[in-house]
Structures are given as C-alpha cells and as structure tokens.
Structure 1
Amino acid sequence: MTRHAVHAASDGPLRQAVLEHYGETFGLSDHPWQAWRLADAPATPGVHDVLLSDGEVDADLIARIATAGATLIETDREGGQWIDTVRSPMGTWVLSSRADDDHAHSPAFVAVLLACLSLHFPAHDALCLARAWRPGSAEWPSEFERFPRVRHAALVAPEAAAQAFAPCPPALGLYAVVPTAEWIERLVPLGVPTVQLRFKSDDPAAVRAEIARAAQAAKGSQSRLFINDHWQAAVELHAAAGGDSGIYGIHLGQEDLDDADLDALRASGLRLGVSTHGYAEMLRVAAIRPSYLALGAIFPTTTKVMPTAPQGMGRFRAYAKLMQPVIPALVGIGGVNASNMGQVLAVGVGSAAVVRAVTEAVDLTAAVGELKALFGV
C-alpha cells in the first residue's frame, strides 16, 4: 500500500444528510470513519478506516489489515450481482446483492457505508444498508428484496428455497424466559402465554430431566413452551411422546445454528425461534424461514453477555419494519420490563420477552398480572 493516501470518492452531501436525518435515532460516533481504495490507502490504517478492493486480496495483506484493526471490503461481480466480503474485527461475512450500476463502490455507496458506520452499525450491517439504499432516496431502507443475501456464513444456499418451519401466531404475547423447570411450573398456572426454559448444564441427564419436567408442566395448558439450546434432547422427548410432549418449539442463538440439524428440527414439527442482533444476522436467519425472530437486545441487560451493545428503540423499530412482512412473529427482547414494555409493543410486535421482570419479582402473581395487562389480557 502506498503512503500517498487518497480518500475513496464519496457523496458528501448524501453522507451528511444521512447523519442529520438519523443521528438522533441511532446515535453518532465521536470519531469519523474514512474510506480508501486499497491502492490509495494509508500504509498503516486504523480502526476507523475502511479499505475497498475490486476483487480478492492476498492473505498477507488481509492479515496486515486485520492486525491494524481496520475493515476490508472485497467486491467481485457475478453477473448482475455484487459479491461483497466484509472483513472486520467482528468477523467475516460474504453477501450478495443486486448490482444497480457498474460501480462497485460508487460515491453514494461509500457515503451511506461511512454514515452507517458513524451511526454505530457494525461493518457487515453497514454494508447491508449501503447496498439496500435506494438511489436518490433519503428514506431508511425497509424493502426486504433490496437487501443482500448471506453467502457466508449461510444456513442455506442463497439460490435455494428452504421449507418453512411450523408457524407461530404473530402475537406470542408475554414471553417469560426462565432458568429452571420449577419456574415453568409456577408460570403456567398464571396463564403466561409463552415460556422458555433456558437451563444451563453440561450434564445430559440433568438436561433431559429438566426438559421433561418443564414439558409435563406445560402439557395440556395454554402456555407455549420453548426449549433454549438443547434441541436434540427436546426433539427426542417430543418424538417419544408421539408429538404430544408439551414442548411447542426450540429457541436457538446465532452460535447454535451452525451445529443444529435444521432438517431434523423441521421434521419434528416443533417451532423454531432465533435470536438476532442486527441486519446481517436477520438476513441470515430469514433464509431458513423460522417460526419467529427475537430482536435485541433492546435495552441494557445483565442476564447474559451480549455480542453487541444495546440496540435501542430506533434500531428495534427499523428491524421490525423490515422483518415483519417476512416473518410476522417478532419478539422484542433484552432488558424489557413493565416500565418500558409499552414502548416495545407500540412498535407493533406481538410479543416481548422478560427475564428479571419475572424472576426477581417480589410478588410473582402480581408481576405477571401487570405484565399481561400491558398486552390487553
């Protein structure tokens, strides 16, 4: 890389307009992002530098850019599509999108990319937004068909049509996520419409026993029981019960999807819910047509370590607007409680998940009644 650094061409007015329109909604970075054509990039890029390459980059250079903490976007053309490989400190994503013109990194693309990075979107999400942005528009992208498709780490080939999982009703209502079957036994009689067992253990026998106990508590009730993570044990128990186990579905995180047998899950008839934390993850999961998406974390939460900072209501609204026509059942999650539940439901989603609002309640019956009332129940 030469030391005579020259910025990539960018549509300055467009970049400024995006920041002015959406800075209050998403928040603004204190440090400006910069984009460079690879041949014109500084010899030592920094963490707020994006290097743009037409085509592949050799492994040594990729390693040098990664060591510097910079972001690299390699773009190839395949027919009428751009194939973008985004390498950043948050990992590598490969995405394909429709090519609106012959310029892989047009001034408008660069402007939106840099603006979205300054709005605190990670590089892979900023790329999705820059590709989806409609030319000449100031509107935040919400047309699903304009967004890229995930090629890596894809859960299904971009050109394939996956069979949908069994559907959930769009309104899953109050969704309580709890750590033990004992909690399920307490919540089901209170009429909580959706419950999730998030039992953490490396002991297979303990896992099976806890799932069986939770399933027994939910069987024959109006509560929909989801099992977090332990899909194999849940599928086996469900099959052994002839499909009448008391288990309604499985919930998986992004990291769990790579190891799950999605075909076996579909064949079981159980529903599938998946956690997502941004645009690229939502697009990745939408390809397998799950039963619902969990969007978050909306607010700060202490119940688990999150891969991203709290998303905030601005992002949550944007995510819901994009995904609701594609996957109607959406769940707001992360730091939700009685004081902010109204904000979440006002977005139009039919469900919100709570943890501490239930598990730390002084009076469980009263807390559940208050939360259910916010849904009009």
Structure 2
Amino acid sequence: MTRQGVAAALDAALFDDLVRRYAAMFGRDEAPWQAWLLANGPASPGAHDVLLSDGEADAAAIDRVAAAGAVLIETEREGGRWIDTVRSPMGTWVLDVQADDGNPHSPAFVAVLCAALSLHFPAHDALCIARAWQPGSTAWPGAFARFPRVRHAALASPDAPVRPFAPCPDLGLYVVLPSADWIERLVPLAVPTVQLRFKSDDPAAIQAEIARAASAARGSQSRLFINDHWRVAIDHHAACGGDSGIYGIHLGQEDLDEADLDAIRASGLRLGVSTHGYAEMLRVAAIGPSYLALGAIFPTTTKVMPTQPQGMGRFQSYVALMKPVIPSLVGIGGVNAGNMREVLAVGVGSAAVVRAVTEADDVAAAVAGLKGLFE
C-alpha cells in the first residue's frame, strides 16, 4: 500500500554512512524511520514516523501525532538559536541550541536525526545528536558546547548559572545496599563508596535506617550516599553538626523535580544523579552535580529501568562527552566482576554494583575481588 504524504528532504548518503558506521556500536532498528514536514505528512502516521513543524503546531495536529505514537518536533527561531519541542511517547522536551544556518530542518539535520532514531536513540536524544552534529563531519559529536540546553524540564535557568555542588573524587567501588544492616557489614571492609537505597513509606523507619547507616560510616574510609530521602539526610547531617557520616545524596531523575536543590547545596553534602541518555545528562549538567551515574549499561533486575540497557557503545559516548564537564562519573546497571574491567577501561573512576555483593556466597571475598579490579 502506498503511503500518503511527501517525505522531508534527507541527505541519503549521510544517513547511509552514519547507520553503516555506527550500527555495530549502538545497534540498529530494522524498521525504517521516515521524516515528514508536518504539512505534507501522512494522514495516519505510524510509530516510526517523525513529523517536523516549522513553528508551533496546532492542538489537532499534536493530538493526531500523539494518538499515533509518532514523534513531533516543533522548531521555532529565537534570535540566533533554534528552540525545539520534541513530543514523543516518552514525554515532551524543550531544547535550544545555536543555529548553524537558516534552515530548521536541513537535509543533513534530517539525515542525522533519522540515523540516530534508527540507532535506537529515543527522540529527545536523537534531537540532541542531530543539533550537535558538526556540519561536514562523520565523527560522533563529543563537543559539549554544541549540544542543546534543556528548557523543559529545566532544573536551572541557562541564563543564570548556579553554583555547582561540592565535587567528588573518583569514587572507586560503589556498592548500592538496601539496608543499614548491609552498610554495617560493608563499611568494615573499607568499601570506598556505599549507598543506602532503603525503600519505605514509614518516616520513623527511614530516620532509623539513615541514622544507623550514618553512624556506621562516621569516621570510616567509606563515603555514604543516601538515596532519595534527601530531607531526612539533610536534617540528620545538620543535627550532627555536619559530622554525621553522610557524604552525599543520590537522586534519580524522577526525584529531581521535588527535591530542594538549594537546601542540599547549602548543607555541604554532595549530590549524585542517575542519568539514562543525552537529554537527561544535559539537563543535570546545568546544576553542576558532584557526580553523574551513567546507565543502565547492562540488563539489571534490581529496579525497573525507564530505558533499555544502554550498552557499552552509548556508555563510551556519554563518558567522552561528560568527563570534561563533570569529572566524577559512575558506571551503573548490571555491573559485576565479569564486566567491571570493560567498564573501567572506558575512563570512569567508579562503577556501582548491587547483586555482585549482596548475592555473593562470601561477601568479604567478593568485595576484595571487586576492589582489586580498580588497582
């Protein structure tokens, strides 16, 4: 059946070269992606269609594209910058970037965008890649200054830079643990970095776990991060006069919108944040966190992930982009003794594990073996 509509102009040679060059690194979607100018798009777009609008789309078009599970990118000019609103089944992102020319959807831009989508990047990350692409180049983009800034959901105004959080050194072996019992077991083994990821809705239980974990870490060689429960961690840290045993707080993307980042910064505690791709890394970079966790690199069963495993190809590209900006990086997600060396070889100074320790028959031996991989 013939599709209706007129496809957007695409640099076919560039598209073919990029897919051929990078498919082994990132993987390839066998279903072809197609870009269309919104006015000429098919009446019934599909999940592998991206509609490009020069300016704001009307509500009916937005609803039609959303109902089809397709991607809509609305582009407006603001001074010398492109403002892109990316709408996809994964949500809405608004990004802005310096304009290279006067064409919002040039054939080269469309080629890189469709290539990135074909390489399994989600739409908001594919847009970041396409805008950051150096004209005339076939090298994967790695210059941070060329990447877009996040306007929505922004954590800080790009025009009013915030004071960064206290920096972290390389964090070494980073073990994520479910309880204070585990923290008390691991700290005597001199694990460089531990995280308490205690899941509970009971305020008293949360306070008790954090107090026990902090007490275990106080005066030790282990840096203790508290996952999620940032307010309790700040209060406990303050009550101890800033000598609580708590080194920092770790937040996921879903926690950032609710956390009082100014309060965390004022407490003197470090801040680590989980990221799962380009747009999230760019969003978080604006607040200057102490470290970024990049993943999930490999399949993991310890939590439900918002994205598919990133794989080593993406992990390498993320490290190359972010290390000059945020030097302390942590590889996370499915890391174990068998793949730890591969992760560290990319250039990060830390890798996080869970089951490699918590499910070990001999915990002390497992910790010693993992620590040895950093030497």
> Residues 245-267 of structure 1: CA distance to partner in whole angstroms, max 9, x if unpaired?
00000000000000000000000
Aligned length: 373
> Structure 2: 5+ residue runs without aligned partners?
none
> Residues 176-211 of structure 1: CA distance to partner in whole angstroms, max 9, x if unpaired?
000000000000000100000000000011000000
- Per the alignment, residue 127 of structure 1 pairs with 127
The alpha-carbon deviation at position 4 of structure 1 amounts to 4.7
Distance 1:12 1:131 in 2: 18
Q: Does 1:266 align with 2:275?
A: no
> Structure 1: 5+ residue runs without aligned partners?
none
Q: CA RMSD in A?
A: 0.6
SS of equivalent residue, structure 1 residue 321: helix
Matches within 5 A, 1:111-122: 111-122=111-122
> Residues 336-377 of structure 1: CA distance to partner in whole angstroms, max 9, x if unpaired?
00000000000010000000001000000100000000001x
- Per the alignment, residue 351 of structure 2 pairs with 352
Q: Which stretch of structure 1 is more off in the superposition, 123-132 or 50-59?
A: 50-59
- Per the alignment, residue 245 of structure 1 pairs with 244
Q: Which amino acid aligns with 2:90?
A: M
Q: Which amino acid aligns with 1:347?
A: V
- Per the alignment, residue 323 of structure 2 pairs with 324
> Residues 33-67 of structure 1: CA distance to partner in whole angstroms, max 9, x if unpaired?
00000111000000000000011111122111100
Distance 2:33 2:160 in 1: 36
- Per the alignment, residue 312 of structure 2 pairs with 313
TM-score, with length taken from structure 2? 0.99
- Per the alignment, residue 285 of structure 2 pairs with 286
Distance 1:227 1:292 in 2: 14
Q: Which amino acid aligns with 1:268?
A: S
Distance 1:269 1:219 in 2: 16
> Residues 223-280 of structure 1: CA distance to partner in whole angstroms, max 9, x if unpaired?
0000000000000000000000000000000000000000000000000000000000
TM-score, with length taken from structure 1? 0.98
Distance 1:4 1:371 in 2: 57
SS of equivalent residue, structure 1 residue 248: strand
SS of equivalent residue, structure 1 residue 280: helix
Q: Which amino acid aligns with 2:124?
A: H
Distance 2:64 2:19 in 1: 31
Distance 1:59 1:352 in 2: 45
The alpha-carbon deviation at position 135 of structure 1 amounts to 0.1
Q: Which amino acid aligns with 1:116?
A: A
Matches within 5 A, 1:7-46: 7-46=7-46
Q: Does 1:65 align with 2:65?
A: yes
Distance 1:345 1:125 in 2: 24
SS of equivalent residue, structure 2 residue 63: helix
Distance 2:11 2:366 in 1: 52
